[in-house]
């Protein structure tokens, strides 16, 4: 069973890693475009690739930002002493689940979509 301290440390490392990745992504597009234009001009195929790469980068950035939000939420829970408690039902979250997913805010039961009615 993981100690809370080690989970908190993992979350803090994850937060640093995510912030760095997001910062790198934010810097990437303009540099990428400049290089493209100066070396290859405005070829259609290149432009399509650029758009695709740009979309991938934006999707990745949104994904990383979402993860960062979860990690920061979890770290905030350490501050107010609610870490490891399900935000839905108030029960303790299975330590094995926290080990696998340190930023989980709900227990396995509450996070399972099957529990909710299908639209
Ligand atoms: Zn729950």
CATH number at residue 9: 1.20.120.910
Q: Give kind and range of the element (H or E) at residue 99.
A: helix 95-100
Residue 31 has pLDDT above 90, yes or no: no
- Give the model's pLDDT for residue 98: 95
Report whether 54 contacts 28 (CB < 8 A): no
Q: Which domain holds residue 26?
A: 4-115
What is the domain count for the chain? 1
CA of 9 to the centre of ligand 1 (A): 24
- Give the model's pLDDT for residue 27: 83
- Give the model's pLDDT for residue 35: 52
CA of 114 to the centre of ligand 1 (A): 14
CA 79, 83, 86, 91: dihedral to nearest 10 degrees?
Answer: -110
Mean pLDDT of the chain: 84
User: What is the pTM assigned to this prediction?
Assistant: 0.73
């Amino acid at each position: 069973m993981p100690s809370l301290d080690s989970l908190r440390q993992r979350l803090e490392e994850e937060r640093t890693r995510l912030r760095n990745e997001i910062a790198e992504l934010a810097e990437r597009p303009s540099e990428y475009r400049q290089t493209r234009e100066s070396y290859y001009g405005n070829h259609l195929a290149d432009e399509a690739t650029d758009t695709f790469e740009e979309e991938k980068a934006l999707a990745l950035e949104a994904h990383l930002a979402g993860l960062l939000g979860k990690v920061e939420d979890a770290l905030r829970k350490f501050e107010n002493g609610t870490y490891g408690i399900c935000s839905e039902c108030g029960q303790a979250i299975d330590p094995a689940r926290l080990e696998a997913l340190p930023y989980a805010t709900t227990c396995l039961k509450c996070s399972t979509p099957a529990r909710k009615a299908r639209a």
